[in-house]
Structure 1
Amino acid sequence: LEHGALWHVPGGYAMRERLGDAKAIVPSAKKVGAFGSRLDVPLGHINAAYVRSHFDAMEVGISDGPRPDEILFCLAMTCGPRVHNRMGGLAAEDIKAWDGLR
């Protein structure tokens, strides 16, 4: 299953253009599972991949699919960090230039 060819170029660049000055990588996940499987979609900060307060995931799934001839694409976004985060590291307010983008 090659998710890069399906999403990153057409979807990733279009999403970055729409969001504006998004610098961080677009986190992704892929899974081959049985009917009704759940997928954890990773989340991160829009401008610095190593801002730990924004490390999170959203669980998604469709109870009746996807069927054998279908594929599920899911996009998850948030407008802030995890509630009561306490992981330390680079803080969102301390991002400068290319911080957190290795």
Structure 2
Amino acid sequence: LGLDLTKRLVAALGNDPKAIEAYGKGALIGAGGELEHGALWHVPGGYSMREILGNAKAIVPSATKVGGPGARIDIPLHHVNAAYVRSHFDAIEFGVADGPRDNEIAFILAMSTGGRVHARVGGLQVHEIKGEDGQR
């Protein structure tokens, strides 16, 4: 599931894995479930994105939430090779109007092809990334 969703997302963003600059993942769990059901998505969701994107160095940020129909979740984003690149700190909101129902779960992957428009918080810049440890 993780590899298929990752390939579909990369295709939707232009089919060039090198163009992806930020990523994140999450799970929205119906009220009959528990947060730990969403935690099961950490490994297949994160490792599939890192693999398809050329072994990205940074940990994939994530969020999980239990909620009823109409619940929304913000999926955090940060740079694929350096978590401290502040221009890429962002989030993508996700929701399904009639879900999740009690016995449903949505596994979510999110990517972007750049940082925030007009980012000016300072800190580590994309051109300064060393890519050694996933942080800087």
Q: TM-score, normalised by structure 1?
A: 0.90
**Per the alignment, do residues 51 and 99 of structure 1 end up closer, same or farther by CA in structure 2, a change over 3 Å counting?**
farther
Greater than 4 Å deviation, 4+ residue runs: none
Identity %: 67
Identify the residue that residue 47 of structure 2 maps to in structure 1.
13
- In structure 2, what residue type is equivalent to 1:14? S
Q: Higher RCO, 1 or 2 (CA under 8 Å, sep at least 6)?
A: 2
2:92 to 58, 74, 77: 58
Identify the residue that residue 39 of structure 1 maps to in structure 2.
73
Structure 1 residue 30 corresponds to structure 2 residue 76? no
Q: Which runs of 5+ in 1 are unaligned?
A: none
Secondary structure in structure 2 of the residue aligned to 1:11: helix
More strand by share: 2
Secondary structure in structure 1 of the residue aligned to 2:106: coil
Q: TM-score, normalised by structure 2?
A: 0.69
The answer as to whether partners of 1:51 and 1:100 remain within 8 angstroms in 2 is no
Q: Which runs of 5+ in 2 are unaligned?
A: 1-34
* Residue 100 of structure 1: how far off its partner (Å): 5.7
Q: CA RMSD in A?
A: 1.6
Structure 1 residue 72 corresponds to structure 2 residue 106? yes
State the alpha-carbon separation in 2 of the partners of residues 52 and 20 from structure 1: 22
Identify the residue that residue 93 of structure 1 maps to in structure 2.
127
- In structure 2, what residue type is equivalent to 1:34? G
User: How many corresponding residue pairs?
Assistant: 101
